[in-house]
């Protein structure tokens, strides 16, 4: 079972899940849904006021804390378009090396778009969120890599094991999926689906 702590800390179209060198804004047509703290979709929210979706970024790692705000979207329906401008990739930073992860080539830069929300009906606090695979609820991470990259290795976090097996063949934006393979053990790999099966999961207070 994924922990809520993991989701809050890790704060990721068409049929293809990779993009060529970006020469124009990337438009992602997505939806959002309310989820509870057990990461289960709920249907009891009365949409009296728009929800604000918040997208900060951080560079140089797959998991981490966001450092810069990218954009916010006020959404009064369940569908929205996330526009990723060409300039955003310039925020990418050299991926930090560690004994646990093997990154080839070493000079690869990365950027991740993180996910938060503010829903007025639940007070003034900023809430957590994540991109979710609608079919199974798995977390999805939206990442930019500056070149083709291979990332392998295992990272331990909060008594959970994350096995990385990421292979890309070009520069660009990619969706990564976090799949539970055993108790407290997850695999991080390239997402094989398409954006019609992706939604923003807003974790609402109960």
Q: Which residues pair with 34 in a beta bridge?
A: 202
pLDDT of 139 over the 90 cut: yes
Bridge pairing between strands 198-203 and 127-133? antiparallel
- Determine the length of the chain: 206
Model confidence band, residue 40 (pLDDT cutoffs 50, 70, 90): confident
The count of domains in the chain is: 1
Domain that holds residue 155: 4-203
Residues in CB range of 196: below 8 A, 6 or more apart: none
User: Which of 116, 115, 122 minimizes the C-alpha distance to 47?
Assistant: 122
Q: Most confidently modeled of 15-29, 111-125, 185-199?
A: 185-199
Q: Could you tell me which residue, 134 or 44, shows the higher pLDDT?
A: 134
The residue-averaged pLDDT of 174-186 equals 96
- Residue 166 has a pLDDT of 97
pTM of the complete model? 0.84
Tell me the C-alpha distance between 15 and 17, whole Å. 7
């Amino acid at each position: 079972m994924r922990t809520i702590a993991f989701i809050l800390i890790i704060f990721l179209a068409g049929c293809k899940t990779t993009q060529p060198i970006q020469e124009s804004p990337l438009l992602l047509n997505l939806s959002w849904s309310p989820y509870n703290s057990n990461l289960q979709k709920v249907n009891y929210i009365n949409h009296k006021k728009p929800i604000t979706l918040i997208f900060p970024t951080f560079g140089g790692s797959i998991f981490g804390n966001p450092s810069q705000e990218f954009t916010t979207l006020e959404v009064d329906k369940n569908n929205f378009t996330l526009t990723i401008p060409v300039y955003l990739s310039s925020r990418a930073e050299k991926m930090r090396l560690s004994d646990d992860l093997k990154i080839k080539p070493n000079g690869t830069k990365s950027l991740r778009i993180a996910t938060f929300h503010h829903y007025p009906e639940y007070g003034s606090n900023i809430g957590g969120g994540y991109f979710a695979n609608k079919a199974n609820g798995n977390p999805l991470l939206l990442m930019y890599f500056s070149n083709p990259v291979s990332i392998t290795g295992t990272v331990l976090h909060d008594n959970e094991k994350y096995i990385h097996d990421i292979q890309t063949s070009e520069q660009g934006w990619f969706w990564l999926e976090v799949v539970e393979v055993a108790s407290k053990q997850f695999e991080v790999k390239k997402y094989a689906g398409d954006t019609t099966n992706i939604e923003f999961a807003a974790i609402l207070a109960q």
